[in-house]
Amino acid sequence: MKSVTKVGDLPLSVHDYGGSGQHVLLLHGGGRTAEDWDPFASVLLENGLRPVAMDLRSHGASGSAPWSWSAAADDVSTVVDALGLSKPIVIGHSLGGMVAAVWATEHPECRLAVNLDGHGNPTRPDQMLGMDEVSADWAYAHLAEELEDMAKGMDDELREIMRQIDALDLFATYRAAQCPLLVVTGDLGSEYAMLFREPAGQAWSAGFAWLKEQLAQLDAESPLVITASMPTGHDPHREDPEGLVLLIAEHFEGFADLR
């Protein structure tokens, strides 16, 4: 049975699903809560693991506090220490996946960190793969304008988080990993181009192609980083929890009993 407690001075809300196997700490996406993990946690329990999910700072039932990547990683440490989690596998979705990647740069003892589709948005015209410089500048300017319009509907805390996402050099973070890091992409992310007017939609598609190219290059270069994809949208843990468990098990021996 799931129990909900609060730990740390902030405080941080933690959902402990029980179980007695390998500890797995789950980090939700921006604007979401730990409850997003309920379906995936059930599959983990069925496969002999002990899942724990936390609300990130300024989310869900956790306290509100300024966002920084170091502070978010420290929050993960607070939960790990408070619950006595032993070398947990840390799996994050979207914003939480980026936190997991940052965690991986600081914790060589971590058995595995996983970033589920936490890629952010295109932030530069040179990420418009296949476009010449003039076309890239033009298309990216339209995409940036539409993304800014979308951000106007967010509260101040989430807008600040989005600014910090844009400022984070994820590929430098990946290359600084000190433990195994699995980066998973939902392949249907390319279809989000339909959310934008043209040429912003073309810019999104070009940026997604650039992302896939960079991930393939990273996979070939890094001894610790593995990249993979699933035939899902942005929420693989909710769209196909069983498939995600199988995918992680393919890359981390002993992850699940696979009953």
**What confidence tens digit (pLDDT) does each residue in 34-57 have?**
999 999 999 999 999 999 999 999
45: left (phi over 0), alpha (psi -120 to 50) or beta: alpha
Phi first, then psi, for residue 99 (nearest 5°) are -60, -40
Residue 259, domain member (yes or no):
no
Position 259 confidence tier, pLDDT thresholds 50, 70, 90? very low
In this structure, the dihedral spanned by the alpha carbons of residues 67, 72, 74 and 79, taken in order and rounded to 10 degrees, is 130
Give the pLDDT score at 254. Answer: 65
Q: Is residue 258 over pLDDT 90? A: no
Nearest to 201 by CA among 209, 212, 210, 192: 192
Position 3 confidence tier, pLDDT thresholds 50, 70, 90? confident
Neighbours of 79 (CB within 10 A): 22
Position 6 confidence tier, pLDDT thresholds 50, 70, 90? confident
Residue 22, domain member (yes or no):
yes
Residue 256, domain member (yes or no):
no
Query: Mind listing the pLDDT tens digit for each residue in 184-227?
Result: 999 988 888 888 999 999 999 999 999 999 999 999 999 999 99
Give the pLDDT score at 256. Answer: 64
Q: What CATH number corresponds to the domain at position 88?
A: 3.40.50.1820
Beta strands 3-7; 12-16: pairing state? antiparallel
Residue 258, domain member (yes or no):
no
Distances from the Cα of 71 to the Cα of 56, 204, 217, angstroms: 10, 30, 30
Q: How many residues does the chain have?
A: 259
Q: Give the total number of structural domains in the chain.
A: 1
Q: Is residue 58 over pLDDT 80? A: yes
Q: Are 205 and 130 in contact (CB under 8 A)?
A: no
Residue 198, domain member (yes or no):
yes
Give the pLDDT score at 7. Answer: 81
Residue 257, domain member (yes or no):
no
Give the pLDDT score at 20. Answer: 87
**Mean pLDDT on 97-116:** 97
Q: Are 127 and 207 in contact (CB under 8 A)?
A: yes
| Residue 9 belongs to domain spanning | 3-251
Residue 44, domain member (yes or no):
yes
